[in-house]
Amino acid sequence: MRSGGLWLTLLGAALVAAVWLWVPPIPQPEAYHDFADQRRVLGIPHFGDVISNGVFLLVGLYGLLQTRRLQARQTFRPATDAWPYYALFAATVGVAFGSIYYHLDPDHWRLYWDRLPISLAFMAIFTAVLGERLPARVTPWLLPLLLLIGAAGATHWLVTELSGQGDLRLYLLVQAVPILVAVVWIGMRGGRYTRGGDVIAAAGWYLLALVLENLDALVFEATGGWVSGHTLKHLLAGVALYWLARMLRLRRRRGALA
């Protein structure tokens, strides 16, 4: 598929985003912080939702080491193709600490430090998908631009929430647009490396995680109070991120793009 088709996809996404921003503000539900698993274990409140963040720390560190190892072998060509993955897995480590901080005592301010690295992670993998399908010179300027947009999405939500008029629209956009556009671009063009389908598989794991998040109390009740939907959301989101680290290890370079 020619680059023109890829850019048309981005234009379409921009138009959808513009229309989406005409939708009335979406406030944070009042009951959002009321998670099903309220148990205190070993002195740790909300034990399941806190301790399950260990998966992000482990996967984030593994991904950083994997990226560094592959860069040393000159697997990334050009070398700037590694940058989004450093950002992705550094953000994943940030999610671990931000989410632990939030779940120890949930409120809006603490939630911001959970959502900020999540937004950065989405924009990092978005940069990787786009940059590997565009000329090599694109990634060095695209990565900081998209990271700023991701940070703006989370920060906009917090500012509106603290002003009494909470609005999730921009935060939701910085998750939805990368997933949708990445899937389309992977289907349209293979890029510099093989195994692009692993990104789609990772998106599938993440969408399943979101389903379980919305079934938080139901899962907790169905498992007899053993595990909640939100805890499982953390674990499956960790699987999604591990899938991306696994992709780096298994994929091969196709050849340079123009």
**CATH number of the domain that residue 93 is part of:** 1.20.1070.10
38 occurs within a structural domain: no
Residue 221 has pLDDT above 70, yes or no: yes
Note whether residue 7 is domain-resident: no
Residue 130 belongs to domain spanning: 43-250
Q: 221 lies in a domain?
A: yes
In this predicted model, what pLDDT tens digit does every residue of 70-101 receive, in sequence order?
A: 999 999 999 999 999 999 999 999 999 999 99
159 within some domain? yes
Instruction: Specify if 16 maps to a domain.
Output: no
What is the tally of structural domains in the chain? 1
Q: What is the mean pLDDT of residues 16-41?
A: 86
Long-range contacts of 198-202 (CB under 8 A, 24+ apart): 198/243, 198/244, 198/246, 198/247, 198/250, 198/251, 199/125, 199/129, 199/244, 199/247, 201/243, 202/125, 202/240, 202/241, 202/243, 202/244, 202/247
| Residue 213 located in a structural domain | yes
1, pLDDT greater than 60: no
What mean pLDDT comes out for the span 211-217?
Answer: 97
Q: Is the pLDDT of residue 258 over 60?
A: no
Query: Does some domain include residue 11?
Result: no
The pLDDT, as a whole number, for residue 5 is 60
Confidence of residue 188 (pLDDT cuts 50, 70, 90): confident
Predicted local distance difference test score (pLDDT) of residue 30: 81
| pTM for this model (two decimals) | 0.92
pLDDT tens digits for 169-182? 999 989 988 888 88
Asked if residue 3 is part of any domain, the answer here is no
> What mean pLDDT is predicted for residues 174-200?
89
Q: Is the pLDDT of residue 3 over 90?
A: no
